């Protein structure tokens, strides 16, 4: 894994955007794995601002709440429309359908989507408990798309978006860990002290299903783009072990800077 330490939210957005831009420009039919939440907002803002040409690109989102329609302002579908799909014209976009009559069938359908559209670059945020997508602690590393019961910690973290506590969904449909690991490249974004513990475990803890993000240590092409606060609990050794790079161009030229 490589680490890019940034000083500002803008720095995180720019580094992430450069990777997206490179993926979109270098591939004939790029497939972008998209995340929702606060972490990728800056990247999406730059995609809009620069009017990135994505007419040949396909997006595959990580997850969606169960029982929220695309018109519900808290659904991830609504989020993606607002952030990107109403602004840029992609060749095709995929989001799991949390309103499907049979959620079991929907999981199968989505696994086929991922199979048929191998992801070139997967953007990830990380939960305070180390979740990726909605793969909560204890999720099998072998999992495909599945239905998840959200933990109290995740529901609490998302509470701020909903009027009442009981409005926060209890279940979600998420790409599985095995599906995420199939992406050719993964960029995980983290900012703020709240993420520091999860980032320390990701970089230094044992690789275990108890912290789903640690699976990324088994992936050959991961870059962690994180601010100083999110990296604040990490030891000097992890910067050496995981190879700190200072910019996306360093990353691309594969030069080692430590």
Residues involved in catalysis: 63, 129, 131, 136
Q: Any contact of residue 150 with ligand F6R (CB under 6 A)?
A: no
Minimum CB–partner distance for residue 198 and ligand F6R (Å): 9
- For ligand F6R, the closer of residues 9 and 205 by Cβ is 9
Binding status of residue 226 toward ligand F6R by CB under 6 A: no
Residue 242 within binding range of ligand F6R, rule CB under 6 A: no
Residues with Cβ within 8 Å of residue 223, at least 6 apart in sequence: 1, 2, 3, 4, 19, 185, 186, 187, 188, 245, 251
Q: Judged by CB under 6 A, how many residues of this single chain contact ligand F6R?
A: 14
Residue 131 near ligand F6R by CB under 6 A: yes
Q: Is 35 in the site for ligand F6R (CB under 6 A)?
A: yes
Q: Residue 127, interface with ligand F6R (CB under 6 A)?
A: yes
125 or 169: whose CB is closer to ligand F6R?
Answer: 125
Residue linked to tokens 């979740």: 131
Binding mask 51-70 for ligand F6R (x = CB under 6 A): -----------xx-------
Stretch in the footprint of ligand F6R (CB under 6 A) among 112-120, 132-140, 202-210, 215-223:
132-140
Could you tell me which stretch among 30-38, 97-105, 161-169, 241-249 binds ligand F6R (CB under 6 A)? 30-38
Nearer to ligand F6R, 103 or 199 (CB): 199
Residue 132 makes contact with ligand F6R by CB under 6 A? yes
In total, the chain counts a number of residues equal to 258
Q: Which residues lie closer than 8 Å to 150 by C-beta, 6 or more apart? A: 134, 136, 158, 168, 169, 170, 171, 172
Residues that bind ligand F6R (CB under 6 A): 35-39, 62-63, 125-127, 131-134
């Amino acid at each position: 894994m490589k680490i890019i330490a940034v000083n500002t939210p803008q720095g995180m957005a720019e580094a992430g955007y450069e990777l997206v831009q490179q993926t979109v420009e270098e591939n004939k039919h790029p497939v972008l794995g998209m995340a929702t939440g606060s972490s990728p907002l800056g990247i999406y803002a730059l995609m809009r601002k620069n009017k990135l040409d994505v007419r040949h690109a396909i997006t595959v989102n990580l997850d969606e709440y169960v029982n929220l329609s695309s018109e519900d302002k808290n659904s991830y579908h609504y989020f993606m429309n607002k952030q990107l799909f109403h602004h840029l014209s992609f060749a095709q976009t995929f989001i799991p359908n949390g309103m499907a009559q049979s959620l079991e069938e929907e999981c199968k359908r989505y696994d086929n989507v991922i199979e048929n559209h191998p992801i070139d670059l997967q953007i990830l945020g990380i939960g305070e408990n180390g979740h990726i997508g909605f793969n909560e602690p204890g999720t099998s590393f072998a999992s495909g798309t599945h239905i998840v019961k959200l933990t109290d910690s995740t529901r609490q973290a998302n509470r701020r978006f909903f009027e009442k506590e009981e409005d926060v969904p209890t279940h979600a449909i998420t790409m599985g860990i095995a599906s995420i690991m199939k992406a050719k490249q993964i960029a995980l974004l983290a900012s703020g002290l709240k993420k520091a513990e999860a980032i320390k475990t990701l970089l230094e803890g044992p690789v275990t299903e108890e912290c789903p993000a640690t699976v990324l240590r088994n992936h050959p092409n991961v870059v962690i783009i994180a601010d100083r606060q999110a990296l604040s609990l990490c030891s000097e050794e992890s910067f050496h072990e995981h190879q700190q790079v200072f910019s996306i161009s360093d990353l691309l030229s594969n030069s080692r800077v430590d």
